[in-house]
Amino acid sequence: MRSENEQKELQGEKLKVGVLGATGMVGRRLVSLLLHHPRFELTKVVGSGATAGASYRDVWEEKESALQHHYGSRFWRPFPVPEGIDGMRISSFDELLSSDCMAVFSSIPERAGEFEEELIKHGCVVFSNSPYRRFDPEIALVVPEVNRNALVGARFVKNPNCVTSGLVLTLAPLQDRYGLREVVVTTYQSLSGRGDAKYAQELVLGNIYPLHASSEATEENIWREVKKIIGDSFKISVTCNRTCVQEGHFVEVRIKTRAPIRSTEEAADALAGFNPMRSLRLHSNPQSPIVVLGEKGRPRPMQDANHHEGMAIAVGNLTTEDEVFDLRLTYVVNNLVRGAAGGALLNAELWEAGASAVRNKAGLQH
């Protein structure tokens, strides 16, 4: 005899989920994506202890207003408050633990990683944007189109840095077709990549701010993430910068391959045709994860950060005419969607689809 919960799962009832770190920039974007999700029911939003019990709308508006005030209203555009959060109150962590949430999306700082550990011990599945334990061998670090098998049996799932999320999508089809020997990456990352933390205006407004040797370990993180997701068969050099853009990271990539690339068009076809999850019916799965643009001067963050609702990267400026490298290209990745909230959500959808298939198979056998 099945329990009531098991019967509901077999009937396709939504999985109850919570968001830890829901008041942060990535957390807010996660909430906006979850509000009308067909498979997940958002029941808890959790912020810091200081915000527990507060109106979620009030905290949301306060944080967006602070960013606009800091960077200036002519530059910064607040992300609108979705209507679905009206009446929502911020829960405490203890309320999340005592809830019936089976999965939790986490967007907390690395220093707060013990909260993720507590959720795992409590039986939750955690999908996390946090750098905490990202490089531990036993922790799954997943970009579904590239290494989705790492999700099998996982209950603690990480998605990588926003640059890496787009970079491995770009490198995977080229690795498959040509093999990679050396990759040189230079990033121009938007200000929203740092969340609600604010840069001094003189560093970033109308400026380029190199991140090398700064408090942000972005260069090393990207290098290590690429190695963990794709493998260690090629050399990679990474240089990171912040630039005066609100949303969307612009990245230059220079590549030496093992097999020759016969033409720019051939490389473009390899990228555009990369879609290993095309047959999966997942809510956040883009029609194609890579959009190749032939127009000169593209991609650009303002015009190209939102292909397929921000879940596809835009690739352009491809050329094989270079004296040093076999291929040059640039891409734009939406750092808040594909590179963060949407990446975690796609991991969760893929995990849930697998778990649902197992439950349904078990149901047919009873």
Q: What residues form DSSP beta bridges with 291?
A: 314
List the CATH number of the domain containing 322: 3.30.360.10
Query: Could you tell me if 145 and 185 lie in one domain?
Result: no
Residues 6+ apart with CB under 8 A from 320: 261, 263, 264, 267, 326, 327
Residues 6+ apart with CB under 8 A from 237: 182, 183, 184, 185
- Is 162 noted as a catalytic residue in this protein? yes
The catalytic position among 101, 124, 240, 249 is: 249
Query: Could you tell me if 231 and 242 lie in one domain?
Result: yes
Cis peptide before 299 (omega within 30 of 0): yes
**Can you list the pairs that 133-138 forms with residues at least 24 positions away whose Cβ atoms lie under 8 Å?**
133/158, 134/158, 134/160, 134/221, 134/225, 135/224, 135/225, 135/228
**Which residue range(s) make up the domain with 241?**
162-334
The β-bridge relationship of strands 235-243 and 180-189 is parallel
Element (H, E) at 267: helix 264-272
Query: Could you tell me if 266 and 133 lie in one domain?
Result: no
Asked if residues 17 and 102 have their Cβ atoms less than 8 Å apart, the reply is yes
Query: Could you tell me if 144 and 24 lie in one domain?
Result: yes
- Is 308 noted as a catalytic residue in this protein? no
pTM: 0.93
Residue range 188-225, pLDDT digits in tens: 999 999 999 999 999 999 999 999 999 899 999 999 99
Query: Could you tell me if 135 and 260 lie in one domain?
Result: no
Helices (H), 80-186: 93-97, 114-121, 144-147, 162-178
Query: Could you tell me if 59 and 107 lie in one domain?
Result: yes
At residue 349, φ and ψ (nearest 5 deg) are -65, -40
**Can you list the pairs that 223-228 forms with residues at least 24 positions away whose Cβ atoms lie under 8 Å?**
224/135, 225/134, 225/135, 225/141, 225/160, 225/161, 225/164, 225/168, 226/164, 226/167, 226/168, 226/171, 226/183, 228/135, 228/141
Query: Could you tell me if 297 and 357 lie in one domain?
Result: no
Q: What is the pLDDT of residue 4?
A: 45
d(CA 61, CA 202): 25
305 CB burial (10 A radius; 0-12, 13-18, 19+)? buried
Indicate the length of the chain as a whole number.
366
Which amino acid, one-letter code, is at 106?
Answer: S
Assess whether pLDDT exceeds 70 at residue 358: no
Q: Which residue has the tokens 């240089």?
A: 239
Q: Which residue has the tokens 């005066």?
A: 244
pLDDT band at residue 364 using 50, 70 and 90 as cut-offs: very low
Asked if residues 363 and 51 have their Cβ atoms less than 8 Å apart, the reply is no
d(CA 176, CA 183): 15
Query: Could you tell me if 89 and 214 lie in one domain?
Result: no
Query: Could you tell me if 87 and 211 lie in one domain?
Result: no
Exposure class string for 226-237: b at 16+ Cβ within 10 A, else e? bebbbeeebebe
Residue range 2-53, pLDDT digits in tens: 344 444 444 468 999 999 999 999 999 999 999 999 999 999 999 988 999 9
List the CATH number of the domain containing 47: 3.40.50.720
d(CA 246, CA 190): 5
Query: How many structural domains is the chain composed of?
Result: 2
Max CA pair span of the chain: 70
d(CA 216, CA 223): 14
Element (H, E) at 350: helix 342-364
The catalytic position among 162, 244, 307, 308 is: 162
Residue range 147-176, pLDDT digits in tens: 999 999 999 999 999 999 999 999 999 999
Average pLDDT of the residues in 110-127? 96
How high does pLDDT run on average in the chain? 93
Query: Could you tell me if 252 and 310 lie in one domain?
Result: yes
Asked if residues 321 and 307 have their Cβ atoms less than 8 Å apart, the reply is no
Query: Could you tell me if 306 and 281 lie in one domain?
Result: yes
Query: Could you tell me if 302 and 346 lie in one domain?
Result: no
